[in-house]
Chains A and B, each alone.
Chain A
Amino acid sequence: MKRRRRTEILIHGSQKLSSQLAENIRQNYRIEVIQSPENGLVMIKMRETSQKSLFYPGEVFVTECKVQIGETIGIGIVAGDHPELAENLAVIDAAFEAELPETGSWAGLLEQEEQNIRQQRDGARQAILKTKVDFESMDVQ
């Protein structure tokens, strides 16, 4: 599973899953934290729709962590102040980058979590769509 998809699942999914996957790696490998979770900013680059040019609407406060497993560096970064999640994300990223055998069995867990997220979003979507306007034309006398 590619990084963009798995990081979205791990960030929006239950934090139990990221803790469980990272713990799995911690039990089997020596993990060196090369950058403890620390706060930083990510400047957003946005395309406006009038002239389709780029501009900066502002920054997002993030937590970032870097770990090393063997020769492989993993990065965890998440919006907000979430040191534990950032470290777990870094461990999981390093595991995927190093192609550790444990990651082979993670696809199913991640896909299941993705399904849970989708169900939650569908529920929220249904509630929002109750506010969709149903126009009725009035009779012309």
Chain B
Amino acid sequence: MGLFTKTEETASVGPAGGDKDLTKKKTRQICWDSRDKFFACLDKHNIVDAIKDSELATAKCPKEEKQYEADCIASWIDYFKQKRTMEYNKEQMLKKFEEQGAVKVEPNVSFK
């Protein structure tokens, strides 16, 4: 998916990339939990894009961000932030279309 494509630019920035083994279910879950806490904090302060508004995010949720960065690896940290922004934009777009009276059609993917 296109979600992954920008990662190479920011991959080197994260702290301690590689020494956390996120191929383990347990560490993965820890990362996801801190991510959810950080994003909940961002929601509270109406911050959508934690990359663009990184200073604001750090100012409003310093503790959560630190924990998130400690529990996840660099590529994931940015990936989840990008994904959050993308999902927000998608939601807004759908809302806009709905207001304009668009009919939602379930995608029916078939390879036959």
User: Does A associate with B in a complex?
Assistant: no
Q: Which residues of A contact B (CB under 8 A)?
A: none
